[in-house]
A = this chain, B = another copy of it.
Amino acid sequence: MTLAPVLDRIDADLDASVERLFTLLRVPSISTDPAYAKDCQKAADILVDDLKSIGFDASKRETPGHPMVVAHADGEGQHVMFYGHYDVQPVDPLELWDNDPFDPKLEDAPKGKVIRGRGTSDDKGQLMTFVEACRAWKAVHGSLPAKISIFFEGEEESGSPSLIPFMKENAEELTADIALICDTGLYGDSTPAIITQLRGLLGEEIKITGPNKDLHSGMYGGLAMNPARVLAKIIASLHDETGRITLPDFYDGVPELSNELAASWDDLKFDEKDFLGDVGLSLPAGEQGRRPLEMIWSRPTCEVNGMTSGYTGEGFKTVLPSEASAKISFRLVGRQDPLKIRENFRKMVSDMVPEDCNVTFHDHGASPASQMSTTHPAFDQARKALTDEWPNAATFVGCGGSIPIAGHFKKYLGMDAMLVGFGKDDDQIHSPNEKYDLSSFHKGIRSWARILHKMSSDG
């Protein structure tokens, strides 16, 4: 089966592809907020219907949380399994969006057209690149260049509580020769990137309680314990003056960067001034003595993602708060053990809580870092296919984000995974005004068409 007419078909069908993506983007499938559970169902239904229209045997599969979408289509050659997620991040602060986050628009921007809206880049736009590539193959040749399974989840942005049980229960059905995952980005603007290492993630919420109600800070201030001060002290103690994390044994299993990888990353000529400048910053703020790229790809972190206590509305209220809470996450690397780190974190925090306060912990997921097995032939095939499509040659890179699915595929299904994606650093994923370049979407579809071709016997 030839590639050229498939690429032509993709070009000709682009407007319709964008329209199909818009239908999915209009559904506010925010997985972390129970108020949007029906919308998650609706997004899954749209995907099932669309996959059926291409000829997939597709179904929505209920879980205790949001449903999975699983689809299969026969084809020649290798069996590949494609993964993406249809759920999206919350949209607050809503007032910082220029438009309704769930009313997607195609906008002119300085570097070309962009698709604007929540989930455009993370991950609805990316997962549709693969679906649209399959649609084009099917339209042109009447069949696919591989046996293809598709697996979409709806809980990726909320810790994937149903994922592992579902994978275990459906292991045979979900196992293929290799998993393809589209939830990452290009390196810079035009260098296609294949991720070979991903940071893990540990999410913890802590709540410190003191007085049994908010107190008057005049009547009680000076005598009563203030949980906001306790929380601030705990957070302040998590890093030392050099930016290192102070948890006992935290750096166990953190590898030093190999000379080879260090040299390869140096070749990328990462410009931290540009990278930080785009978000209004200028100075690398991580561990002293580390390369900027190392700080985000291969060093662990501890960040406060949110904190709240007392009166936070307009004006002033002289209250002594009864509680204070924080959402704290760790990005993990190498062989760091998330469960051991959780245990040490909880112990350290508990030890700092004074006698008159209590602390409760809420688990928001834990996944180790992932290291890809680049010896699988798909890595070389994809590198060639991507190099054919893009101005620059494809490269192997690290990723600071956490996409635990790759590790799960290896652990529970014995399946290698390859991560290829077309997002850009300025896509503002997880932030207001998220966008996905129209060129990412268009060339993304063409890239998957090429990768599937390269992996086939005709490639």
Which residues of the partner chain B approach A205 to less than 8 Å between Cβ atoms?
316
Q: Is the CB of A221 within 8 A of B301?
A: yes
Question: In chain A, residues 167-216, which have Cβ atoms closer than 8 Å to a Cβ of chain B?
Answer: 199, 201, 203, 205, 210-216
Q: Is the CB of B239 within 8 A of A229?
A: yes
Pick the interface stretch among A20-28, A137-145, A388-396, A427-435: A427-435
Q: Is the CB of B280 within 8 A of A311?
A: no
Interface centre among A158, A159, A203, A301 (most CB of B within 10 A): A301
Question: In chain A, residues 88-144, which have Cβ atoms closer than 8 Å to a Cβ of chain B?
Answer: 89-90, 92, 96
Which residues of the partner chain B approach A306 to less than 8 Å between Cβ atoms?
228, 309-312, 317, 319, 321
Determine how close the nearest CB of chain B comes to the CB of A332; give it in whole angstroms. Answer: 11
A425 part of interface (Cβ distance < 8 Å)? yes
This chain: copies in complex: 2
Q: Is the CB of B321 within 8 A of A201?
A: no
Determine how close the nearest CB of chain B comes to the CB of A447; give it in whole angstroms. Answer: 21
Which residues of the partner chain B approach A317 to less than 8 Å between Cβ atoms?
32, 89-90, 157, 305-306, 327, 430
Q: Is the CB of A296 within 8 A of B221?
A: yes
A289 part of interface (Cβ distance < 8 Å)? no
Interface size on A, residues (CB 8 A): 99
Which residues of the partner chain B approach A33 to less than 8 Å between Cβ atoms?
313-315
- Contact partner, A285, options B92, B224, B428, Cβ 8 Å: B224
Q: Is the CB of A218 within 8 A of B201?
A: yes
Q: Is the CB of A319 within 8 A of B292?
A: no
Cα–Cα distance between A196 and B228 once the two chains are bound (Å) = 31
A76 part of interface (Cβ distance < 8 Å)? no
